[in-house]
């Protein structure tokens, strides 16, 4: 596990808080099926170095069905049937920027360009969405959002759904762009997410900030 500067920059990580949480989850794994696999829990931090973050896309918690979660919000390994929320994300990209989205459902390619695909809660029990919301992950991810807002300039924060929008209070709107909409799930996608044009808006903002655009 290589977390680079995250462990130096985020106070809770400097203090080993994330390792304590991982051990707490390990104890639960003795009696429960938990996603993602231990090796993937911190994938978002491993693939997107602290100093490289351009966009923060906040999810809720990992997929709670087998073979889907691998540590990146909304992403699933290639070759897996595309989940409905991700299908809607790809459709909005196509509608927004006029291109057919890459067929890869593994969003590592985004992460490597500086898109931090951060779930608020980093683990979940099989078949029980929200089951780990009280383990302490949100304390960590809230600090990550806050510290990114304080230490970086001209980031884009994508907040989809009420849970993600609750993080807005941690972000300095004077120095960053906050893009808010409904969640891309089928239950709410057509109540604000579809047509939000967040992908072109994010790139417009990055371009005006002299940052390299994301190849969605």
CATH number of the domain to which 141 belongs: 3.40.470.10
Sign of the CA dihedral running 141, 142, 145, 150:
negative
**Is 79 contained in some domain?**
yes
Which tokens hold the place of 200?
A: 């072109």
177-181, strands of its sheet edge to edge: 115-119, 55-59, 156-160, 177-181
Per-residue confidence (pLDDT) for residue 103, from 0 to 100: 76
Q: Cβ(214)–Cβ(116) under 8 Å?
A: no
Q: How far is CA 183 from CA 1, 29, 32, 58, 95, in A?
A: 31, 29, 28, 11, 17
**Is 64 contained in some domain?**
yes
**Is 142 contained in some domain?**
yes
The parent domain of residue 198 ranges over 6-208
Which tokens hold the place of 169?
A: 């209070």
Give tens-digit pLDDT for 49-63. Answer: 999 999 999 999 999
Per-residue confidence (pLDDT) for residue 88, from 0 to 100: 96
Give tens-digit pLDDT for 162-196. Answer: 999 999 999 999 999 999 999 999 999 999 999 99
Q: Cβ(50)–Cβ(7) under 8 Å?
A: no
Q: At what angle do helices 17-29 and 137-151 cross, to 10 degrees?
A: 150
Helix (H) or strand (E) holding 156: strand 156-160
**Is 216 contained in some domain?**
no
Per-residue confidence (pLDDT) for residue 101, from 0 to 100: 64
**Is 1 contained in some domain?**
no
User: How many domains, in total, are found in the chain?
Assistant: 1
pTM: 0.96
Per-residue confidence (pLDDT) for residue 100, from 0 to 100: 66
Catalytic residue among 24, 26, 40, 61: 61
**Is 213 contained in some domain?**
no
Per-residue confidence (pLDDT) for residue 12, from 0 to 100: 97
Sign of the CA dihedral running 182, 185, 190, 191:
negative
Active site residue 61: yes
In the chain, which residues have pLDDT < 50?
A: none
Q: Any alpha helices (H) in the chain, and if so which ranges?
A: 6-9, 11-14, 17-29, 43-47, 84-97, 108-111, 137-151, 162-165, 198-208
**Is 129 contained in some domain?**
yes
User: Residues with Cβ < 8 Å from 11, sequence gap 6 or more?
Assistant: 143, 147
**Is 214 contained in some domain?**
no
Which residue carries 């696999």 as its tokens?
A: 37
Which among 206, 40, 198 is positioned nearest to 119, based on CA atoms? 40
């Amino acid at each position: 596990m290589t977390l680079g500067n995250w462990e130096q920059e985020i106070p809770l990580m400097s203090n080993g808080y994330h390792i304590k949480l991982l051990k707490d989850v390990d104890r639960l794994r003795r009696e429960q099926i938990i996603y993602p696999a231990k090796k993937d829990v911190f994938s978002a931090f491993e693939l997107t170095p602290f100093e490289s973050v351009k966009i923060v896309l906040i999810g809720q918690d990992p997929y709670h069905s087998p073979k889907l979660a691998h540590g990146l919000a909304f992403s699933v390994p290639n070759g897996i049937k595309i989940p409905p929320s991700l299908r809607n994300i790809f459709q909005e990209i196509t509608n927004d920027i006029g291109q057919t989205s890459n067929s890869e459902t593994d969003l590592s390619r985004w992460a490597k360009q500086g898109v931090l695909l951060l779930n608020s809660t980093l683990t979940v029990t099989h078949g029980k969405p929200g089951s780990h919301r009280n383990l302490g992950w949100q304390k960590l991810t809230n600090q990550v959002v806050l510290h990114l807002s304080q230490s970086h300039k001209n980031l884009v924060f994508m907040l989809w759904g009420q849970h993600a929008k609750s993080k807005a209070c941690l972000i300095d709107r004077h120095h960053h762009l906050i893009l808010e909409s409904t969640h891309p799930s089928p239950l709410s996608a057509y109540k604000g997410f579809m047509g939000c044009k967040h992908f072109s808006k994010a790139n417009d903002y990055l371009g005006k900030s002299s940052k390299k655009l994301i190849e969605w």
